[in-house]
Chains A and B, each alone.
Chain A
């Protein structure tokens, strides 16, 4: 059985936990429940960008042997899914910022970091589109994705720690402790897990869609 299909159980389960089981935060009340969506979305965005960088690296290393198929497409799919989840992270973050800090956008270091990541991957999409008829598309895009993935730790871990931030303590803080109520912590962890499964589910789905599209094109070419 494909383990990724656990998403059918995990996702509804974690939605129920986030809305009904987890207690509201002390000051923010029920609006704090957006944390269970905002944080996992940010996590899978970073995960998707790192996976696209890894696929690109493997693609460049095995380019001559062609041992693994469709690595370029996989890295592109992962990057575009990352871009989609980054947009959702920005939207959920803006809603939460409006409720907590009074405005949708404050140019807080973490907000700025995620916005710059968004711009980097929008640039990647425009590069990928520009190169659609270029035989070097795979190599050039893979190189750009590796550079883009290498900047991710600077945006996620270094810049937010260099400048004072409105954001609460990161989950990976200096004390390596999550400052949350035990039920909230468990809900957040379940949400992180189910969103990770959701990412891999969507990733697999996009690869299948890509393969079907290619098979249809091949059949059409054979007929012609």
Chain B
């Protein structure tokens, strides 16, 4: 089972490295959005609240493009039946989840320094900021993985994905934005309640997704 999972992850990453068009599009979106905001605001110093909203919205919409793509790609390449016959629900779901988590983390690693450079983020509580970015990113990729499978199976595309995932992700964005605001504005801040909320939400969605993926993707 672990070998199967490893094989699927390797396949997903090698396809992505061969043709990283989606990742490049997401990064371009993030860069253009950040630089445009910086340009029109003429280096205006936003409050930590506005900064955290901008950061998470840029991450969210950059992620929407790339997180959907993993299941859609399988449909587009005609691998659906092959995966159903050769892979277990466990390896299909967790390979896509790991891929999405790594992809979103990579996006965050690029977007956050862009924010620091162009939107003048001044992070007061560095450790909490890193923790909230990682937990928020994990919650977003964990939630969107199963939703991207739903969209891929329904034959829909980007707009349907945004419509069904945005409301489900709102509690994550809500908690992440308010916690990031505190990490940007207050030194030595630590709020474990928000981190526990994000991890609990991700855990619950991932557990449910694992149980549901056989019905959504494998036609069991």
Contacts and interface: CB of A to CB of B under 8 A. Distances in A.
A162 B154 contact: no
A154 B201 contact: yes
What is the interface residue range for chain A against chain B?
20 to 34
Contact of B208 (A119, A130, A146, A163): A146
Nearest to B164: A123
B103 interface: no
A130 B175 contact: no
Interface in A130-162: 130-131, 134, 136, 139-140, 142-144, 146-148, 150-151, 154-155, 158-159, 162
Majority SS at the chain A contact face: helix
Given A150-B204, A154-B201, A123 B163 contact: yes
Given A60-B212, A126-B160, A126-B163, A136 B168 contact: no
Contacts of A4: none
Contacts of B154: 127, 130-131, 134, 136, 140
Contacts, number: 80
B90 interface: no
Interface residues of B, number: 30
A94 interface: no
A159 to B, nearest CB: 6
B56 to A, nearest CB: 15
Interface in B124-178: 146-147, 150, 153-156, 160, 163-164, 166-168, 170-171, 174-175, 178
B76 interface: no
A123 B194 CA distance: 26
Interface of B: 146-147, 150, 153-156, 160, 163-164, 166-168, 170-171, 174-175, 178, 193-194, 197, 201, 204-205, 208-209, 212, 215-216, 219
22 contacts: A116-B167, A116-B170, A120-B167, A122-B167, A123-B164, A124-B164, A127-B164, A131-B154, A134-B154, A136-B153, A136-B154, A139-B215, A140-B150, A143-B150, A144-B164, A147-B147, A147-B168, A147-B205, A147-B212, A155-B171, A159-B171, A162-B197
